[in-house]
């Protein structure tokens, strides 16, 4: 392996162990089996095989009953993992407004699988927010927008978008329930919060998806839609929450 590149042949579990060693050495100057086990909330017996594997890969120095330390390559790899964790935590918490404990958990999951390109784009967005004179105002507009951060379907008008632009945008927006059979549109957003919103998102009805209303029950509930090659039924209360930009009539 090149001396200029971090070790990428690691399982998620080994990456977590390496990150833990890095944090222990940084904060306490030493890392021991019992310290690692406590930090990872596992038994000491579970730590030992992982340490042996990391030592075989040349990432740590490990001898039984001795302190554990990172090799130069291990230090570089651990710093990469730790930096990805910190970056994702900051993005989830400081940009998206996710509570810190959830942001930490989500970052820990995603840090192992996100591509370098994906990470670079997140870093570029953070750089934009920090560097652009309007970066803070863009973020504030997102956080304060009632349309995407609450139950309201009414734009508060508390941003720099002109009244005419706002009215034009609102005029193009309809709910899925407002379509007639054969009509279609592109999902803009899902109204509200809570389990109903999550269920709709889990169906794959996310911004950018094109939806066709196929038919409506004689009683008006449910309705059937077609999107991405699949047919799906929704209740009227769910369809009301799916907001679209209606496609032009053929």
pLDDT of residue 123: 87
pLDDT of residue 5: 45
The structure tokens 């507009």 sit at 141
CA 154 to each of CA 89, 113, 118, 197, 242: distance values in angstroms, whole numbers, following the listed order: 31, 38, 33, 17, 15
- Quick one: residue 41, left, alpha or beta (phi over 0 = left, psi -120 to 50 = alpha)? left
Do 244 and 174 form a contact (C-beta atoms < 8 A)?
Answer: yes
Query: DSSP strand E in the chain: where?
Result: 60-61, 69-70, 173-175, 184-190, 210-216, 223-227, 230-234, 242-246
pLDDT of residue 149: 66
pLDDT of residue 15: 92
pTM summary value: 0.67
pLDDT 10s per residue in the chain (250 long)? 334 445 557 888 999 999 999 999 988 888 999 999 999 999 999 999 999 999 999 999 988 778 899 999 998 898 888 888 888 998 999 888 899 999 999 998 888 888 888 888 888 888 888 777 777 788 887 777 776 666 555 555 555 555 555 555 555 678 888 888 988 888 887 877 778 888 888 777 877 788 899 888 888 888 898 886 678 888 888 888 888 887 776 5
d(CA 212, CA 235): 15
pLDDT of residue 194: 78
For the chain, list the domains and their CATH numbers.
171-246 (2.30.30.90)
pLDDT of residue 171: 58
pLDDT of residue 37: 95
- If one counts every other C-beta atom within 10 angstroms of the C-beta of residue 126, the result is 16
Helix axes 100-110, 72-90, angle to 10 degrees: 130
Sheet holding 242-246, edge to edge: 173-175, 242-246, 184-190, 210-216, 223-227, 230-234
Concatenated DSSP letters of 130-146: HHSTTHHHHHHHHHH-H
């Amino acid at each position: 392996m090149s001396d200029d590149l971090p070790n990428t042949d690691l399982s998620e579990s080994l990456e977590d162990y390496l990150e833990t060693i890095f944090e222990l050495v940084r904060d306490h100057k030493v890392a021991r089996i019992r310290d690692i086990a406590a930090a990872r909330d596992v038994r000491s017996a579970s730590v030992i095989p992982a340490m042996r594997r990391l030592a075989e890969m040349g990432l740590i120095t490990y001898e039984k009953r001795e302190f554990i330390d990172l090799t130069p390559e291990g230090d570089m790899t651990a710093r990469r993992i730790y930096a990805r964790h910190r970056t994702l935590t900051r993005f989830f918490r400081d940009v998206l407004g996710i509570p810190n404990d959830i942001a930490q958990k989500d970052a820990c999951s995603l840090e192992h699988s996100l591509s370098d390109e994906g990470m670079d784009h997140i870093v570029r967005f953070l750089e934009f927010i920090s560097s652009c004179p309007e970066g803070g105002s863009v973020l504030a507009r997102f956080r304060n927008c009632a349309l995407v951060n609450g139950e309201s379907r009414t734009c508060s008008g508390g941003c720099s978008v002109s009244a005419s632009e706002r009215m034009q945008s609102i005029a193009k927006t309809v709910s899925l329930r407002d379509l007639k059979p054969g009509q279609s549109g592109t999902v803009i957003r899902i109204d509200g919060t809570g389990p109903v919103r999550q269920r709709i998102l889990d169906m794959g009805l996310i911004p950018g998806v094109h939806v066709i209303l196929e038919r409506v029950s004689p009683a008006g509930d449910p309705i059937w839609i077609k999107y991405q090659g699949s047919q799906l039924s929704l209740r009227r209360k769910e369809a009301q929450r799916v907001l679209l930009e209606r496609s032009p009539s053929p």
